[in-house]
Structure 1
Amino acid sequence: MLEAVASYDMWIWHLFFGMDGSNNDINMLNQSPLFDSLRKDRAAPSPFEVNRHVYSFGYYLADGIYPDWTTPIKGYSTPIDKPRKTFTKFQAIARKDVERTFGVIQGRFAILKTPAHVMSVNKMRRIMCSCIVMQNMTQEDNAFALSTWEQEWLDKPENRPRRNIRRRVKDRRSREKEIRNRNIHDQLREDLTAHI
């Protein structure tokens, strides 16, 4: 299975590949390092405001299989009114950016069209990561450069939290609970619907 975060400009920001066998998207999300920087308090602050509500974390547009956590925002399964239908339509259009990105990658690198059952998982991982790196290099040549802002933020000593082990464990549990908060997910989705 492959988990990826891509933006409209076909830049791939996150890749998690592996997890062979009978795993579903929920198992993948639970083992993914996507939210590790949030859980471990290493993420740069990214508060934003929508509809006069302030949110602590950024969000990702996801499909319907993902749980109702704070950060993966999905469309409504059965939109009942025009604002919800509009939000679900816009959300589906934005999610197509990931599919378009991987369509371009498959068109650019013929090796991705070969049957996967003839390769080991490790070989598939290396091939996929290499193709993604080359895709991002192509995008960088087209003036889509990766920002170093987050690393610069982490390099400043005043931004690195210094806590004892008990405090770190307590903070991690608190952040985990906040990431998995369904009420924040529902409120953010409603605010984004009203915003659109």
Structure 2
Amino acid sequence: MLGSIDCMHWEWRNCPKVWHGQFGRGDKKYPTILLEAVASYDLWIWHAFFGVAGANNDLTVLNNSLLFDDLLDGIDPVAPFECNGVTFEKGYYLADGIYPQWASFVKSFKVASSEKNVLYKRKQEGARKDIERAFGVLQGRWRIISHPARAWTINKLRRVMHTCIILHNMILEDQKYALAEFDEESYICPQPNILRTWVERCDIRRKKDQELCDKNTHAKLQRNIIEHLWQ
């Protein structure tokens, strides 16, 4: 499991009126900008994507995010794992119900119909709270992002958000709370993308996109995790 993915709203009090339609939401007093992040159990934020115009829900952010760019280009880290006796080639992220049924997402059930599913639902939703905790700690440490933003430009807000995330990770590392340690050389893709021709890169991207959006792999992974937890 690579981490938990979710989005956080940051209200933008001084959003220019001409942009209210792009950033406005009916359930928010002010326009909002979404932060998409991936956090692990030690609250380390591994991925952050912020500041897309018109990004008013998690799916819109995901479609513009850079999260799967390396995977689609065939240069993502090699991280196979085995679950319930079945080998899977890529890691996965814990996500909530709004995310699509992709091979890289493991979601919960709206209604659990058996004891196995009840156990899985409790474990998945409990582990996915890592990202919610990370958002809470981030806002608790930096008062500037816990209140509506008063800047006038997206670039300034993006710099503020990224700075807070970098400082958040630096604090974790300094306090020895960052628990993830790995050998970088063992996760490097064997064939750099720069050595491939344009046609090869297009073919790889097409193939990887099909693998990423494969609902069968999503269901297969979910079933095996349910059996693994039950055993």
Normalised TM-score (structure 2): 0.77
Aligned-CA RMSD value = 2.0
The AA in structure 1 aligned to 2:62 is L
Q: Post-superposition shift, 1:2?
A: 1.0
- Quote the offset at 1:61 in angstroms: 0.1
Counterpart CA distance in 1 for 2:64 and 2:185 is 24
Provide the C-alpha distance between the structure 1 equivalents of 2:223 and 2:180, rounded to a whole number of angstroms.
31
Whichever residue aligns with residue 160 of structure 1, its letter is P
Q: Distance in 2 between the 1:11 and 1:39 partners?
A: 24
The equivalent of 1:115 in structure 2 is 148
- Secondary structure of the 1:116 match is coil
Q: Quick check: 1:51–1:195 contact (8 Å CA) kept in 2? A: yes
Counterpart CA distance in 2 for 1:148 and 1:191 is: 26
CA distance in 2, matches of 1:152, 1:18: 33
Within 2, Cα distance between the matches of 1:34 and 1:22?
15
Range 48-57 or range 142-151, more displaced:
142-151
What is the total number of aligned residue pairs between the two structures? 194
1:171 CA drift (Å) = 1.1
* C-alpha distance in structure 2 between counterparts of 1:50 and 1:138, whole Å: 34
Q: 2:114 aligns with which of 75, 81, 84?
A: 81
Match of 1:49 in 2: 82
Given candidates 112, 115, 125, the residue that maps to 2:158 is 125
Rounded to whole Å, the distance in 1 between the matches of 2:162 and 2:224 is 36
Structure with higher helix content: 1
| % identity of equivalent residues | 41
Q: How does 1:23-38 map to 2 (within 5 A)?
A: 23-38=56-71
SS at match of 2:63: helix
**Residue 133 of structure 2 is aligned to residue 100 of structure 1:** yes
Change over 3 Å in CA distance of 1:96–1:141 after alignment to 2: same
TM-score, L = length of structure 1: 0.90
Matched, 1:184 2:220: no
Equivalent in 88, 93, 114 of residue 60 of structure 1: 93
| Residue number in structure 2 paired with 1:193 | 226
Residue 6 of structure 1 pairs with residue 44 of structure 2: no
| Distance change (3 Å), C-alpha of 1:148 and 1:83 | closer
